[in-house]
Structure 1
Amino acid sequence: MDNKKEKNEEIKNIKEKSEKYIIDENNKINIKRINELELYIKNFKKKEYDNFLRYKAEIENIKKRSSIDIEKTYKFALENFSKDLLLIIDNLERSIKSLNKFNNKLISIFEGIELTLKSIINLINKYGIKIINNTNIQFDPIKHQAICSVKSDKFKSNFIINVVQNGYILHNRLLRPALVIVSI
């Protein structure tokens, strides 16, 4: 607002000065002064156009930053919920491992837990959560957490022998590293 007042004052001063100096003492038109004023107006317009372009670029940058922030918020809004959901997935996986699927009395419970786990896995995949559970790949300290190392003739050194607990990634952001056993 102050900037606008300053510009209006400046224009008013220019008008007053120009009226005084456009016509000289002999009531003749002062061409030199007219040229000076035209140059001043031209420079003033250029300065204002530069300001306009600068503000326009700033607005575009704000729009881009806002768009990126909104996209990140959308992508990672589920992060805390997802971390809590991982505990449920872990419990379902442990249940499946502990149940004897060949016991006829428990087969329906086993199948129910297995279907529930598959449904949850499909759901988390739908929302961009990927499972880290590969074996026989090189150990990556960003995605894996080694809980122990074992000497092995079957695997190259620093390769994953077994995944003890799955890791998870949400849109390239690590939710939890996979707990792994590594060969030495």
Structure 2
Amino acid sequence: MKNINRTEEETHMNNEANVNEQEQEQATVENEQDLQQETAVPEAGTESVTEEAKEAASDSELDSLRAEAAEHQQRLLRVQADYDNFRRRTQKEKEELAKYASSKLIGELLPVFDNFERALAAGLPEQEDQSSFVKGVEMIFRQFEGVLKSEGLTIMETVGQPFNPEYHQAIMTVETDEYEEGIVVEELQKGYILKDKVLRPAMVKVSG
């Protein structure tokens, strides 16, 4: 009888121990869940703060980019305005240059014009004074020729030169024993070269 009672007591004690262990395990699980929940709340809050910080940083960067774009736009407008002013000024200078391109040459020819005017005003000289008059006219001609040469005008040398269609305009061909075929034998009108360009070809006769 005592043995039976002892067995029942041991069984009852074992059951209570199991219950206590289960309760402890349940309490441990609940504590862990509570701890996870408590820990999770701050993490959620941290994520919210981080997102707000990212949005604020993004807005600030966007504002900075907008300001930079506006500054570049203003610079572009100023450069365009400067270019337009430069283009108009250059166009005006080109028009004035074309309009007054001959002013330098005309200014150099005015003294020649004055001398011709004086010669005409003096009238034709008497028979015995014609030589001095001719000399005066020759001086004016040389003065005029000097002005043209100073501007780069050159008189072509034609007679005795091989015919060149770039420099010569053949009026006719003639038979001659003095020159070989294709040689300029006579000049009917002078040809001129301005610097490196033919201003007027010479009118010539060519040996045939």
Q: TM-score scaled to structure 1, two decimals? A: 0.44
Relative CO higher for 1 or 2, CA cutoff 8 Å, sep ≥ 6? 1
More helix by share: 2
Rg (Cα) greater in structure: 2
